[in-house]
Every structure is written in structure tokens, then in C-alpha cells.
Amino acid sequence: MAFLFVLPTWPVETWVAAMKKVAPGLDVRVWPDGMGNISDIEYCAAWLPPPGVLKSLPNLKLILSLGAGVDAILKDPTLPRDIPIVRVNDPDLTGRMTEYIVLHVLLHHRQQRRIDGNQKRIIWDSFPTHAAKDLSVGIMGMGVMGTDSAIKLRDIGFRVAGWSRGRKSIPGVESFAGESEFDAFLGRTDVLVSLLRATPGTDGVINSETIRKLSRKGPFGAPIVINAGRGRQQVAEDIIAALDSGELFAATLDVFATEPLPPENPLWTHPKVTVTPHCAADSDPETICAYVASNIERHRRGETPGNLVDLARGY
């Protein structure tokens, strides 16, 4: 039995070293030049695998995503649909995402960009501030990441609601579910956070119509958007137009339709946009290798691995 890493955009040596540390007995192979006899490969961990690679492995038994997202794996038209896929659900990754969401909600709430700009120009501008309870945060996607972020934001004092397909029951967090409750969710939201899954159902959900339906009763008079889910979920032109017209107050974007974000993209230099390079929650090699190794062990014992992707649902 052998295990394969397919990591076209990550430093594969770091991942091999981490895997050898947490699972010393595992026969670790590397795509594309260190695969050896591909008939040996039963387990494959991947991030952004090129289409066709997974299908080329004749004895593959389990696919393991090295991040929470599985969109890059699912979009391979040749993906063998009968092989189970495991996604990451780990407190380390979740904690990193929560730090990012809390940081960027606070960055806007405390007007830190304005303060940074003032410092550059040596301006002592003590403008009015407001309390966390004055801001309504709405999180689209109340799964592993959304739920943890919602709880931490609630604990700081923000008015928090979540929107997902199914209803959630989290004390102190209002729950909206499904299409029929989307407008009500938007109408009470000053800061819209996306931690949705990338599926055809969520593509382009942050568009001009959505932005128009957001609350304008918050302290800034216009809403704020934070997207750390997937770039497919935002219509960048609509966000820019809304920022320029004043319909949107500010945006923080960590994910983009094309990554890396091309240098000529206007989002880079827009004065109301904070761009981060898809770093909201990085996969830590040792932590995630331990997670992968434990799922391989479970599978080898004949048990069902945790956090399997539902192909029909798309996540």
C-alpha cells in the first residue's frame, strides 16, 4: 500500500517531511515524478489536483483533501465518482478562520484603515466610535467555520445571525434557513460574511441585488462585505460598482475567481478594499497530516472515515 501527495502549488517536501514524522511507516509517494508503480497507490491527499490525475490511479481507495474545500477536486470532470472523499474538519484550521473573521469584522468596526491612513498623514482625528452591539453581522454558511466564527463574534458582543440551507440552533445567534429567509437575513445585516461552500447554488451570491438588500441602518450607513469562502461566490464588478456608488462601505476579500489575483485587477488598489492572499485559514502540514493519517488508519481498519463529502450535495 502506498500514499500519494498531489500538490502542484504547495511545497511538497514540507508535506512529505510532516507525513513521515506523523506516520513513519507510510510509503509516501509524490506526484508527478515520485509516483513509482501507480498500482501500489491506495490513498491520495491532494490540493488543486490537475484534472485526470486521480482517475489515473487504478487502485485508489480514498481521496483526502488537504483543506476544507473540495471544489477543486469535484470540478475534475474525470473524477472517479465511486471513491470516497474526505475533507478537513480540524480545530486548528477552524481556529485560524475564526481569527481571520474576527480580525476583519473588528478592523471595519474599529475603523482601523482610517486610523492607519491618518497616521501616515500625521493626523490626530478622534472621530466617534460605536459599540459591538451596534453592528449586525450576518454569516452566510453556518458549517464548521461559520458556526465557530459566529460564536466568537457573539461573545464579543456583535448581533450575529447565520444563514444556511438547514436551520441551526446556537444560543444568541439568530438562524435563517433557505432561499425563503434570505432577504430577511440580508435586511438585518450590516456586515455580510461569506463562509459558504462553493457549489453551483452559491456561485455569484454576492452580487448587486444581494448588496442592495443589505441593511443601511448600521453605524456606517452602508454595509460591509467579507468573503473568505470562495471567489466564485462574489461578482467582483458588482462589488466595485457598489463601493464606488456608496452602496457598500467597504470589503475584505481573501478569495478570488482567479488566484493569485492578477496584478492589474482593480481590487488591489481600490481604497475601500482589503485584499488578502487566500490566507484566512492555512493548512498546517503536521496537523493536517496527522488528520489524514488517522483517516487512512480508520479506512484500513474497515471503519468509515470522518467528514466524507456528499457528492450529491456538492460538499
Residue ranges in contact with ligand NDP by CB under 6 A: 67-69, 93, 97, 141-146, 164-166, 195-199, 201-202, 228-230, 254-255, 278, 280-281, 315
Rounded Cα distance, 29 and 313, in Å: 31
Q: How far is CA 159 from CA 104, 140, 144, 175, 180, in A?
A: 16, 14, 19, 12, 21
Under the binding rule (CB under 6 A), the answer on residue 206 touching ligand OXD is: no
List the catalytic residue out of 108, 230, 232, 299: 230
**C-beta of 104: minimal distance to ligand OXD in Å?**
16
The residue with its CB nearest to ligand OXD is 67
Q: Is 205 within 8 Å of 217 (Cβ atoms)?
A: no
b/e per residue, 36-55, with b = 16+ CB within 10 A? eeeeebbbbbbbbbeeebbe
> Residues binding ligand OXD: what is the number (CB under 6 A)?
6
**Residue 281 in contact with ligand OXD, rule: CB under 6 A:** yes
Spot the catalytic one: 96, 188, 212, 278: 278
Among 5-13, 62-70, 126-134, 265-273, the segment contacting ligand OXD (CB under 6 A): 62-70
How far is the C-alpha of 53 from the C-alpha of 38, rounded, in Å? 11
Neighbouring C-alpha atoms within 13 Å toward the C-beta of 275: 17
| Binding of residue 145 to ligand OXD (CB under 6 A) | no
How far apart are alpha carbons 196 and 149 in whole angstroms? 13
What is the nearest approach in angstroms of ligand OXD to the Cβ of residue 134?
A: 31
Is 68 a residue that touches ligand OXD (CB under 6 A)?
yes
- Residue carrying the nine cell digits 454569516: 139
Residues 82-141 that bind ligand OXD (CB under 6 A): 88
To the nearest 10°, the Cα dihedral for 121, 125, 130, 132?
Answer: 30
Is there a catalytic annotation at residue 230?
yes
Which amino acid, 221?
Answer: G
Is the CB of 104 or the CB of 197 nearer to ligand NDP? 197
Rounded CA separation 245/225 (Å): 15
26, 31, 54, 69: which one binds ligand OXD (CB under 6 A): 69
Binding partner of 73, given ligand OXD, ligand NDP, none, CB within 5-8 angstroms per partner class: none
Q: Which residues bind ligand OXD (CB under 6 A)?
A: 67-69, 88, 281, 283
| Residues taking part in catalysis | 230, 278
